[in-house]
């Protein structure tokens, strides 16, 4: 089976690319601005290049991870957000829709399509994004569901667990906690992170069964603020010299360079137990198993 991973240079895409390379699938990946060996360099905002890609090669399954996932970046540069999150999908569907052998599309979306914090959102809950990031991702989802039936969009919470990627939040935190410095972290927004390997397992299942529509991927663990994540990491470190500072109230937007509105505590569940019924790794397990291993490999015996 021929698998194409769009955005294989990114945080999620690079993990999936490496993981699928270890399987029997024939895997191809794309990059945009980052020069990465073995990946096809392509700008998905350019319709001609996208059509050429699919004219020359056939694929059975496509995983789309292209996009701009930072809410603040999207709010500050709405044209870029629209281009990366929506135009890329518009061009992809335009290039695929007349093909006789249509590949199955797995599109990565976000929990930020929801607004309602008073209930736990399931796949039938009304989406209503409160920032440009959520809005452009919802637009992409709607376009896919309207014009490309062989597809599923997965709404995701915060994804952690790719310590080899330079943008990994937890490895950055581990490194900062080694230094004798104060580290201020938000203690007001609850997040429900999942390990990227759990996403990989679910995608494996989806490739086999090809279910369509929308899937909420969320574990049932307790929510954690970034400050609480820092506390758990610090508890596990042997010689952590850094001091964590709880920002207490909602951070001053200017100080934190935060421009996008964000929900404080947004919860999702899935009604599609046939696909998403896996035993999710907890945040503590991720730290104690995965990050311990990677951090010690890079920096020596720093975990307890
Ligand atoms: N990370 C999370 O916690 C999280 C949570 C929920 C949902 N998601 C969703 O998951 C997806 C992946 O997130 P991520 O964190 O992996 O993002 P990321 O690290 O920023 O990766 C985005 C990928 O898209 C590529 N890209 C951007 N613009 C492009 C363009 N015009 N043409 C072709 N490729 C382009 C980037 O290529 P270059 O790097 O080479 O420029 C990169 O490979 C996003 O759609 C996001 O909405 C992520």
Atom 12, ligand 1: residue with shortest CA distance: 65
Shortest-distance atom of ligand 1 to CA 45: 31
pLDDT mean over 155-171: 96
- Torsion 287-292-293-298 (CA) sign: positive
Q: Are 133 and 260 in contact (CB under 8 A)?
A: yes
Q: Which of 4, 5, 6, 7 to mutate to test the pocket of ligand 1 (most atoms within 8 A of CB)?
A: 7
Find out whether 211 and 273 touch, Cβ atoms under 8 Å. Answer: no
Q: How far is the CA of 29 from the centre of ligand 1 (A)?
A: 13
Q: Does pLDDT of 48 surpass 80?
A: yes
- b/e string for 173-199 if b means 16 or more Cβ within 10 A? bbebbeeeeebbbbbbbbbbbbbbbbb
pLDDT of residue 240: 87
Q: Please tell me the distance between residue 8's alpha carbon and the centre of ligand 1 in angstroms.
A: 8
Helix (H) or strand (E) holding 176: helix 169-178
Is 116 within 8 Å of 128 (Cβ atoms)? yes
Ligand 1 pocket, mutate which of 54, 62, 69 (most atoms under 8 A from CB): 69
The overall average pLDDT reported for the chain is 93
Dihedral sign for Cα atoms in the order 250, 251, 254, 260? negative
pLDDT (mean) for 288-303? 82
Tens of pLDDT, residues 245-272: 988 665 565 565 678 998 999 999 999 9
What local confidence, expressed as pLDDT, does residue 128 receive? 96
Write b or e for each residue in 245-254: b if 16 or more Cβ atoms lie within 10 A of its Cβ, otherwise e: eebeeebeee
CA 181 to ligand 1 centroid distance, Å: 31
Pocket of ligand 1 (CB under 6 A): 7, 9-13, 31-34, 42-45, 65-67, 69, 84, 88, 108, 110, 137, 156, 158-159, 167
Q: Contact at 8 Å (CB) between 206 and 270? A: no
Q: What is the CATH number of domain 2-162+196-220+267-281?
A: 3.40.50.720
In angstroms, the CA 112 to CA 114 distance is: 5
């Amino acid at each position: 089976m021929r698998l194409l991973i769009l955005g294989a240079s990114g945080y999620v895409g690079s993990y999936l690319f490496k993981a699928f390379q270890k399987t029997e699938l024939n895997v191809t990946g794309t990059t945009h601005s980052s020069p990465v060996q073995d990946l096809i360099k392509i700008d998905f905002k350019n319709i001609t290049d996208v059509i050429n890609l699919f004219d020359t090669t056939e694929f059975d399954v496509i995983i789309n991870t292209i996009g701009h996932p930072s809410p603040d970046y999207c709010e500050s540069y709405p044209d870029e957000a629209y281009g990366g999150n929506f135009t890329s999908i518009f061009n992809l569907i335009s290039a695929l829709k007349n093909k006789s052998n249509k590949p199955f599309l797995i599109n990565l979306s976000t929990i930020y399509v929801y607004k309602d914090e008073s209930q736990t959102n399931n796949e039938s809950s009304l989406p209503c994004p409160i920032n440009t990031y959520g809005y452009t991702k919802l637009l992409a989802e709607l376009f896919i569901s309207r014009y490309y039936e062989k597809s599923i969009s997965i709404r995701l919470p915060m994804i952690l667990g790719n310590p080899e990627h330079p943008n990994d939040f937890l490895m950055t935190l581990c490194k900062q906690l080694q230094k004798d410095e104060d580290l201020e972290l938000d203690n007001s927004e609850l997040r429900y992170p999942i390990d990227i390997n759990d996403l990989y397992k679910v995608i494996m299942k989806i490739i086999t069964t090809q279910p369509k529509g929308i899937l909420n991927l969320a574990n049932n663990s307790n929510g954690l603020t970034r400050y609480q994540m820092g506390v758990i990491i610090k508890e596990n470190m042997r010689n952590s010299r850094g001091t964590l500072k709880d920002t207490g109230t909602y951070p001053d937007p200017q100080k934190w360079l935060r421009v996008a509105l964000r929900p404080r505590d947004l919860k999702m569940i899935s009604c599609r137990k046939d696909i998403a019924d896996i035993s999710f790794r907890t945040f503590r397990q991720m730290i104690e198993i995965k990050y311990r291993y990677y951090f010690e490999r890079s920096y020596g015996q720093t975990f307890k």
